[in-house]
Every structure is written in structure tokens, then in C-alpha cells.
Structure 1
Amino acid sequence: MRALLHIILPIAIIALGAWGYTELKGLKKEGYKLRKDPAKEQKRPVEQPKIRTRVMPMDLQDFTITLHSQGVVRPHNATTLTSQVSGRIVEITPSFEDGAYFSKGEILIKLDTADYLTDLESAKAQLARSEASFAQEQARAKQALLNWKDAGFEEEASDLVLRKPQLREAEANVNSAKSSLERAKRNLARTQVKAPYDGRVRKRNVGLGQQVGASTPLGEVFSTDFAEVRLPLTSRDLQYYNPPNKPEAVTNKDNIHFESILNQAEEHATPPWVGSIIRAEGELDTDSKQLFVIAKIDDPFGLNNGKAPLFIGQPVRASIPAKTLSDVYTVPRKHLKELNEILVLRNGLLKSVTITPIWTSAENIITREGIEPGDLLCTTRLPYAPEGVPVEIIEDAREDSSGEVSPTQQAQAGDSGKVGKKRTKPRR
């Protein structure tokens, strides 16, 4: 049996090999190939990929630097109101309530006038007595001169004989009485506490019937003609802006724009207020080494111009126009590829350019270097775009709503910048 297997097994292997050879030969005749020879395969033409992007022209233009600062609205004049005389408060007008407006010269508080009316009448009586005494002394002086002449004295009479000292004393008493009368009138008038300027009441400190003295604080008031904002400027800001040193040096009126920091929601936004920088402080801040400038805002409460009111203590952000840079390129920050690096379309090809900033802000970078005339800034985000590849400019914004090129499209460009057409595998 073992001998038989030794004979049958080699014969079966030979037969199987012959059958396989026949089958393979038939497949070759039908045009199928088991493997491909790259050397004999015909090369297909490749196409250079194109990255689609939007662009914006880069033109030389003038750019006005805008400095940004912030401060708190404060009154121009703030006063702790006091009475010049003592007395009991008998009336408080409606204009002397917290937050109320008043006009210059308007009566805010009235004090009891009984004692001051009495002083006024006493001063009038004293003046009448002094004037009578003065008239009597004038008559006595005239009579003394006549008596001296009638007596036949040839020398001149002395001042004492002519009662000149008595006359001067009587005249001084008259002047003193007049001064006392004027003081009594002023004290009577001071029982009515009047507003020193057009303003508004910050806080009232007294009540009806309260006894006050000459140093008692009645309340706090501030003026409403204009408000001030104290704005800090850094040393970098001062390279592009020279604040006025004197009020008469202010040339640009109402060129500073203010907006509230409190209401940032669009539905609560208010039109910006305008003002002018009128002066700068004479020293740098000790801690921050910044220079503070003072801005003036006319009619901050909108009493005359009808604008939305500002409030004392309200924080505001200021935009200050400074130096104008000539012949510069403005690059929006949102189109940066990396720090100080942008993508431009130059001679139809994509190129990465490094720019040197002259001025930077939260929105733009201003430069003169790196960009050449005719360059187009790529505004579509291309994080994987290689340099030197051709670019197809997107003309219609509806063609690419995403604003980005897919990484797959950019990866196909590769480092070589070449891709081939996709080949399909033949079916058996």
C-alpha cells in the first residue's frame, strides 16, 4: 500500500501542475493580466491643483490712528452747599431734592428771617442817629468859625476850636452805621440759599425745621453745563498724539467719540457722545507712568441737544483720532495666517508673506513692508495651503459660503503641488 502511494502522489502533482498551466495560458489569451508592469504602463498627464479663495486688493492709502482709552464721567464743578448765616430752615424748594435740576440764582432753601429783620431795623435806626449827630457837628463847626472871626483873632483857629475832630468822629459814625445797615441787608438776603450755577442736586443733607449754622453742609450739587472725563494715555500713544497744553490750543472740536461701557448689547446701544480734549495734566501718574488728559463733553445730560444723557460716575470708552500715516497697507487681523504672516496672490500664485507692523489695533495691522504693488490678500482661511500653487479666485460669494477650503483639497496639493486623476480598478 505504501509503495502504491509513492507512485500515485507524484503523478497527481504533475497532473495538477499541467492543469494550472493550461488555465493560466487561457487567461493570457483573453487579455487579463495578473500583475502590471509600471515600466510598460502608459503615463497619464497630471494636472496642477487649484485652491479656491476670495481676495481683496491691497492698495496704498492714508490711515488715521485711533487711540482707545477709558475713564469715568465727572462733573466740572462739584460743591458742598453751605449757608452763610445761621437759622432754622422754614422752606425747602422742589429744586433741592436728590437728582433735581436747578438754575443759577434759583432759591433752594429759606431760613427764618425774624432775627435778621430786627437787625436790619436796628441798623437803620443807628444810621439815623449817626446822621443826626453828624449834622449837629457840622452846624457847631460853622458856628465856631464865626465866633472865632467875631472875636477879632487875627491868627487862624486850631482844629480843636473849629471842632474838626468831633466832625470827623461824627462822619465816621455815619459810615459805620451805613456799613452795619448793608451787612444787615446782606444777612437778611442770605437767609435764602441760592444756586451758584446751573446744576443738579447730588444729595440733600438737611430737612425742614432743622437748625443750621454757617458751616453746616446743606447738600452736594454739581454743574450741568459740561462734564469731564480723565483719560490715561500710554507712552506709546504719546508717540502719535500731542495733547494741548492750553485751552486756546484746542483746534479739533468735538472729535472725540465716547460710548458707554455698561450697555454693550446691540438692542441697548446708544449713539456715541462727542467731546474735545482741552488740556493735559502736568505730571505722569506715579504708578502707571501714564499721562492723563482731560476731555470735555458739553451738555452731558442732553438738556439742550436732546441726546441720551450721561451720568456722573458712568464709565465710558473714548476713541481719540491721532496721527495720520501716509501710504500704508491696512491688513485686517482676521485674515492673518499666523503672527504677522499673511497669504497673498502674487502673479497668480499663492505666497506666504511676513509683514512688519507700524501700528497695531484690535482690528487692523498697519504696515509698509512685505507687500508689493498688485498683491491680492487671500481672505479665505487656508491653514494647509502650500506656496506656489495656482489659485482660483471666488467671484460669487454664494459659491463658497463656508469661507474655507477643505483640508482634503489642500492635502491633495501636497509638497510637490501635483495630483493625478483617480484610477478605477478593472473588474474581472
Structure 2
Amino acid sequence: MMNTETKQKISGFVQLIAVILFIGTALAISIILQSNKKTIKNGQKVERVLFVEAQSFTPAPYAITLSTTGTVESRAAVDVVSQVSGRIISVNDNFYEGGHFAAGETLFQIDPRDYELTVERLEAELARAKTTLEIEQAESAAALEEWKMLNGSKVAPDLVLRKPQQKEAAANLKAAEAQLADAKLDLERTTFSLPFTGRVLSSNVSLGQFITAGQVYGSVFDTASLEIRSTIEEESLKFLHPIEDLAINVKTKHMGQDRTYSAFIKRSAASLDTQTRFAPLIFGFKDDANDLLPGTFVAVEITTAETNEVLAIPSTARQKDGRIWMVNADNTVSPLEGYTILHNNGDTLALSGITEAVHLVTSSLPGAIDGMKVDIREARK
């Protein structure tokens, strides 16, 4: 076994070797770094050159597209309310939830017999009133002849000529005519129909049921009154004029199939939404949209007429600080000036005020300054 003195000598020798190796390694690294360092002439600065993507753009006619969403609503949803009472003797097979019906189509029939009897009775009363008036008129004529025979040319009093009785008979005749017209109207109302083509939202009418006038027995809506309630950013309202130049498409899914409809702006609200600050818009359908139901979610795409001299560039060209950099002929950059952002749909910026072709940076360029050199890589289109 080695004694303590021998161990100490070996340990010291190992430490000496380690120190020599460390110093040698440091010297080698220093020599390598010095040999790889570029020689810089006195007074010369190293320029900072960034790789960027750039693309040329030319002003051209451009149609702005606005996108929004909305919900189908019915402007004319009405309750089913009978104007007469009676027992139901027939119900249209389509007068149930989801059913379609045409304008004037009978939806249900109330037993008309009581109303028919009322019409017959009032027709008899009308005939009696006519006869009474004719009798009074005849008696008045006879009284006038008798008066002339006895009194010559003297004016006969109204009572002698039975004028009050004639007025009463004429009034009774008008009342009888009105009562008969009212009874005939009630008889017509035993056949329930509506003056529009629509669909049934709900129905509580059954065969044999007794219904009461004025009570609600269902709900329907006019399919021609379907419209879309939507909203749009307030700053986009300027693109909606003139309305006749807009192309509006409505897209939705119906029964698992994609559907597209043409639409138009019917009206806009007079105030902004107090919470979202968006402007409400109401669209109408140009196409037949009878298959849609209130509550259907739709996507609305509004395309304006083309505007001349618009520069359409990718939104990536606008840096985080809001500036857009133009690449000059000597590969230096300078900020684009003299433009106005017409519209930003998230992917594309539409600029006005630029009348000539420009070469723009389309990638990120952090910390850029006017006159800075860049290395161009053409952007992939």
C-alpha cells in the first residue's frame, strides 16, 4: 500500500497536468477565433442587413367584400285566432307544425249550420223591412192625393204624408241589411283561411274541438316576409351606397345541403347597438326562400362595385407599428406615405391614394429605419 506522502505527490502531479491542459485549450480557442475574425478597415462600420420578403403591387380596380352573419326571421308571424265560435268539422292535413299552406286555402272548417240559419232568418227580416217601407210609401202617396182633393194646393203636413213613418221604415231596412251582411260575414268566417302563403309554427286545432272566438289556437308565418337580421361595423356603412350596385349572397345549410340565395338590403336601423356599436341591417331575399325556417343561421357576403386605383396588399405588409415599408431600387427601405386604408378584411388591405406600382415588404421587419439596407427574397404569391 502507498503511504500518505506518495499519494500527495500523485495528486499534485494530476492537478498540474489539468492546469496545463486548461491553459492550452484556452489558447487554442483564442487562436481559432482570431483566425476566423474578419478584418475591418479603420473607420468602416458593419452594416445590418435583414432578409425580407417583398412583392410588387400595382393599383387596379378592386371590389370590396364585407362579411357578416345573421339570423332568418319572419316579419309577419301571426296567431291563429278565429273570429267566430263553433265546433271544428274538418282540419286541413297541412295545418300542423311545419306544414305549408297557400293563400286562401282552407285550414279548418267550423260547423256553419247555426250561421246559415241566422242568415235565413235575417233574410226574412230584410224582406219584411222592405215590405214595410213599400207600404209606408204607398200610404204616403194615397194620403197626398186625398189631401189635394180636400185642400187644393195647400202644402200637406209631414204627419199627413207619413214621412216620419217612412223614415223609420227606411232606417229599419238599413238595419236589416247590415244585420244580414254581418251574418253572412260570420258564415264566411266559419271557413278559416289566411291571405298569404305560409308555414305553420304551431297548431292546437283538432277535429271535433269547440273553439271560441278571440282565442289563440296556433301560430303561422308568411314565407314571403322572411328576412335576415344582421349587423355590420359602423365604419363599413360607407361601402353600402349606392345600394343598387351591391351584390349580396346568403349562404347556409338546409337539411345537410349548402344553399346560396341572392339578397338585397331592405332597411337599416336608425341607431347603433349600444353594446357592440354595430349597425343593424335587414336583408330581404330575391330568391324563393320558402324552405328556410325562422331562426336559421346564415352567412352574408356583400360585394361592392369596383373602385378604381386601389392597391390590394396582404395584411402582413403592415408592420406591428402600423407602417408599411417600400423597397427602393438600391434595396433600401422607406415608409410608404400618402395612402388611406379603405378596408381591412383581415387578410387583405385595400389602400387608396397610391397611383403607381410599388415594391413592398410583405414579411416582418422589426426595428426598421428609413434608408436601412435589406436583402430581398421575393414573396411567394
Asked whether the two chains share a fold, i.e. TM above 0.5, the reply is: yes
Aligned 8 A contact 1:340 1:357 in 2 = no
Q: Which residue does 1:332 correspond to in 2? A: 314
* Structure 1: runs of 5+ lacking an equivalent: 1-34, 44-49, 245-249, 303-308, 398-402, 404-428
Compared with structure 1, are the counterparts of its residues 88 and 299 closer, same or farther at alpha carbon in structure 2 (3 Å cutoff)? farther
Letter aligned with residue 239 of structure 2: Y
Take 1:67 and 1:325, find their aligned partners in 2: how far apart are those partners? Answer: 14
C-alpha distance in structure 2 between counterparts of 1:351 and 1:185, whole Å: 88
What's the counterpart of residue 241 of structure 1?
239
Map 1:395-410 onto structure 2 (within 5 A): none
Q: Per the alignment, do residues 206 and 339 of structure 1 end up closer, same or farther by CA in structure 2, a change over 3 Å counting? A: farther
Cα separation, 2, equivalents of 1:88 and 1:120? 18
1:281 aligns with 2:283: no
User: How much has 1:55 moved relative to structure 2?
Assistant: 6.1
Give 1:64's aligned residue.
63
Mean CA deviation greater in 192-201 or 275-284:
275-284
Give the corresponding residue for 2:104.
105
Residues 230 and 181 (structure 1 numbering): CA distance in 2 closer, same or farther, change over 3 Å?
A: same
- Compute the displacement of 1:207 (Å): 1.9
1:203 aligns to 2:197 (yes or no): no
In the alignment, which residue of structure 2 is the partner of 1:298? 286
Alignment check: 8 A CA contact 2:51 2:375 kept: no
Q: 1:137 to 1:340 in 2, by over 3 A?
A: same
Deviation at 1:217, TM superposition (A): 1.2
Give SS of 1:272's match. strand
Aligned to 1:137: 136
292, 317, 332: which one aligns with 1:310? 292
Looking at structure 1, the residues matched to 240 and 318 of structure 2 have their Cα atoms a distance apart, in angstroms, of 32
Per-residue deviation, 1:360: 1.6
Secondary structure of 1:72's partner? strand
User: What is the SS of the residue equivalent to 1:182?
Assistant: helix
The 5 Å alignment of 1:10-409 reads 56-238=55-237, 240-241=238-239, 251-252=244-245, 255-260=247-252, 270-301=258-289, 309-322=291-304, 326-333=308-315, 340=322, 346-347=328-329, 349=331, 351=333, 358=341, 359-367=343-351, 373=356, 375-377=358-360, 388=373, 391=376
- What is the number of equivalent residue pairs in this alignment? 334
- 1:2-59 residue CA offsets vs partner (Å, 9 max, x unmatched): xxxxxxxxxxxxxxxxxxxxxxxxxxxxxxxxx99x99xxx9xxxxxx9999864311
Separation in structure 1 between the aligned mates of residue 358 and residue 52 of structure 2, nearest angstrom = 14
The CA deviation at 1:88 is 1.2
Does the CA-based 8 Å contact 2:140-2:163 persist in structure 1? Answer: yes
**C-alpha displacement of 1:177:** 1.4
Per the TM alignment, residue 376 of structure 1 is displaced from its structure 2 partner at its CA by 4.1
In structure 2, distance between residues paired with 1:195 and 1:357: 55
C-alpha distance after superposition, 1:279-325 (max 9, x if no partner): 222333343343322211134436xxxxxx43321122222335865
Contact 2:326 2:336 in 1 (8 A): no
Task: Give the 3 Å change call, closer, same or farther, for CA 357–363 of structure 1 in structure 2.
Answer: farther
Deviations 1:160-189 (A, max 9, x none): 001111112112222221211111111111
Q: How far is the alpha carbon of 1:158 from its aligned partner?
A: 0.5
Q: Distance in 1 between matches of 2:324 and 2:207?
A: 72
Q: With structure 2 as the length reference, what TM-score do the two structures score?
A: 0.73
State whether residues 133 and 173 of structure 2, in contact with CA within 8 Å, keep that contact through their aligned partners in structure 1: yes
Query: Could you list the runs of 5+ residues in structure 2 that have no partner in the other structure?
Result: 1-30, 40-48
Aligned-pair RMSD on alpha carbons? 3.8
SS in 2 for 1:270: strand
Cα deviation 1:38-81 (Å, max 9, x = unaligned): 99xxx9xxxxxx99998643111233333333221111321112
The structure-2 alpha-carbon separation of the partners of 1:366 and 1:80, relative to structure 1 and needing over 3 Å to count, comes to same
Cα distance, 1:243 vs structure 2: 6.1
- Distance in 1 (CA, whole Å) between partners of 2:378 and 2:267 is 51
Shift of 1:351: 4.8
Answer with 284-293 or 121-130: which moved more. 284-293
**Per-residue deviation, 1:122:** 0.7
Change (3 A) 1:334 1:209: farther
User: Is the CA contact 2:54–2:377 (under 8 Å) kept in the aligned structure 1?
Assistant: no
1:169-226: CA deviations, max 9, x gaps?
Answer: 1122222212111111111110001122111111112222222122111221111225
